[in-house]
């Protein structure tokens, strides 16, 4: 499991000081990106040279409790499935040990032209280290 800490800033909230629902997607995207950088040293280079990218194919979100201005949160990411050209992850946003939001996201691995491509073997092996068993 990968754990990504973050703080809720004013720009993340609505007029009531509660995190705007779409910003949870930004939080989990940042967490997945940081996880990929830690898992695969050449990931940044692969993305920069447009040899590989991930596109969200499907996403389910369950909002359990609101996050608020200045909360310190953590995003916990676990890979639950690795397909030939896809990765499914479960991400939980927590505050003080309590789950606030649960997100399940399926990502398609694509090439520079936007076509599905097989996950590179090195990346597949790296992703298996955060695979939920």
Q: What percent of the chain has pLDDT over 70?
A: 92
Dihedral angle sign, alpha carbons of residues 24, 25, 28, 34: negative
pLDDT tens for residues 55-101? 999 999 999 999 999 999 999 999 999 999 999 999 999 999 999 99
Strands 2-7 and 53-63: unpaired
Residue 47 pLDDT > 70: no
Q: What per-residue confidence (pLDDT) applies to 40?
A: 75
Tell whether the model's pLDDT for residue 46 goes beyond 70.
no
- Residue ranges and CATH numbers for the domains of the chain are 2-128 (3.10.129.10)
Helix residue ranges, H only, 1-133: 23-39, 43-48, 121-128
pLDDT for residue 75 = 98
- Residues serving a catalytic function are 14
The dihedrals phi and psi of 55, each to the nearest 5 degrees, come to -120, 140
Residue 41: per-residue pLDDT: 63
């Amino acid at each position: 499991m990968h754990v990504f800490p973050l703080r809720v800033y004013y720009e993340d909230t609505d007029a009531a000081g509660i995190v705007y629902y779409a910003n949870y997607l930004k939080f989990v995207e940042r967490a997945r990106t940081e996880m990929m950088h830690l898992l695969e040293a050449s990931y940044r280079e692969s993305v920069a040279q447009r040899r590989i990218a991930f596109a969200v194919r499907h996403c389910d979100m369950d909002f359990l409790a609101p996050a608020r201005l200045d909360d310190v949160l953590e995003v916990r990411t676990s890979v639950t499935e690795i397909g030939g050209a896809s990765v499914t992850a479960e991400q939980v946003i927590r505050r003080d040990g309590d789950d606030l939001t649960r997100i399940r996201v399926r990502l398609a691995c694509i090439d520079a032209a936007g076509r599905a491509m097989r996950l590179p073997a090195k990346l597949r092996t790296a992703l298996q280290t955060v695979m939920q068993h």
